Amino acid sequence: TAAGMDPQAARGAPGANNLGKMAGVMGRILRGNPRLALVFLDVGGLDTHANEEASLSRTLKAIGEGLIELKESLGDAEWRRTRLAIMSEFGRTVCENGTHGTDHGHGGLFVLAGGSITGGRLIGDFEGLADKALNENRDLRILADWRTLLGACLKDACGISDTALGTI
């Protein structure tokens, strides 16, 4: 376990250094089996509380490389049909703590990517980083419910009805 990381936080999920291999295998499986439409990959190792700059720079690089591997293993035609929803189940504090890391916060992250996504834009609200915009003067406020965001992705990608989404 890297310094400052909570070993229990990943709940057994492999670290980002394994994402490239997992994504490559998953891309080939998806490309070879058109009946598969939905895949979840869980990545651990992001719950850092100390020396965050060094650990996150390695982890985020590995995640980026994993996403490139997924794109390449899917091939151009399948990538154009692909939507990625990348999210964290919790946010981090805005300010650094005493051990050069951050602590658990409220507002999280939700990124849409993929060949079918028009990128380069922020969808939703961002209230800024001033103390008055922060929850308890320490972290981002929750401005969107991840269930609504994932539901919109399922509706768009799979044609799932609002009624079915309510059940899911």
Using alpha carbons, select from 153, 51, 146, 56 the residue that is nearest to residue 107.
146
Is 64:58 a contact under the CB 8 Å cutoff?
A: no
pLDDT in tens, 32-77: 998 888 888 888 878 888 888 888 889 899 999 999 999 999 999 9
Length of the chain: 168
> Tens digit of pLDDT for each residue in 133-156?
999 989 999 888 888 888 988 898
- Using alpha carbons, list the distances in angstroms from residue 41 to 77, 128, 149: 21, 30, 17
Mean pLDDT score of the chain, rounded to an integer? 86
The span from the CA of 116 to the CA of 121, in Å, is: 14
Q: How far is CA 64 from the centre of its chain?
A: 11
The sign one gets for the Cα dihedral 15, 17, 19, 21 is negative
Give the Å distances, CA to CA, from 155 to 42, 121, 148, 149, 161. 22, 21, 10, 10, 6
**Residue 32 in 3-state DSSP?**
helix
Q: What is the pLDDT of residue 32?
A: 92
**pTM, entire model:** 0.80
